[in-house]
Amino acid sequence: MAVVGEEYCDAEERVLTVRKTSHFSPGDGFAAYDHRTGGLAFRADTYGRGHGGGAASAGELALLGPTGEALVTVRRRRPSLHQRWEGFLGARVDGQKPLFSARRSSILGGAAAGAVVELLAPLSTSFSCAHAAAELRVDGSFPRRCCRLVVPNAESGAGEAVVAEIRRKVDEGARVVMGRDVFVLRVSAGFDAAFAMGIVLVLDQIAGDAGEDFPMAKIW
């Protein structure tokens, strides 16, 4: 299922270690490292200094590849009771139509209530596979680093598939569960890892710093 590009759809499950690199504002600093190679796979940066402000360029977030190329740009759509965010392919330009839209599942459920992701732009032919759907769902709690991205099975009309999952990072050598600033993103075989990271940026914006912090914990 290619959304950003076929090159981000691995034949095997892809595991990324994601580290939050800034604590001044949610979402304005992330680095994701490939578990197999240890190399940088993605990073995130803001456009402009007016994070969350009213200007079109302020508060935009860019998901970048390892060499700095813009893969996805996300920005908040205003006004929006559900905290609706839009994602654009590459570096957004005026008049460009969004690739996807994401919003909090409910205005009553708080930041940990999950999210709904709607795909808007035409996708590649691989999108007609069994996992294809116009709408995806995020179940669980991103602030607790325990959630998953679910796609309904469009062909059978029943069942669903988990295409990406976020869990807390465990240092097996030290037997320590890391704090929530370091977590694991598992992307299923054939699913777009760049798109999954774009959803992570949106979830971080929706959740902010909601919920309690989770320090490192020893596994006994």
Number of H helices, E strands in the chain: 1, 15
- Could you give the 3-state DSSP secondary structure of residue 130? coil
Whether residue 61 is predicted with pLDDT greater than 90 in this model: the reply is no
Bridge partners, 9 (sequence order): 192
Q: Specify the DSSP class assigned to residue 48.
A: S
Supply the pTM of this predicted model: 0.81
The residue extents of the domains of the chain are 6-218
Mean pLDDT check: name the lowest of 78-82, 182-186, 213-217: 213-217
For position 210, what pLDDT does the model report?
53
CATH node for 6-218? 2.40.160.200
User: Is 194 or 134 the better-scoring residue by pLDDT?
Assistant: 194
In 3D space, the residue among 125, 130, 112 whose CA is nearest the CA of residue 212 turns out to be: 112
Strands (E), the chain: 14-20, 30-34, 40-47, 60-64, 70-76, 85-89, 100-104, 115-119, 135-141, 146-152, 160-168, 170-171, 176-177, 182-187, 217-218
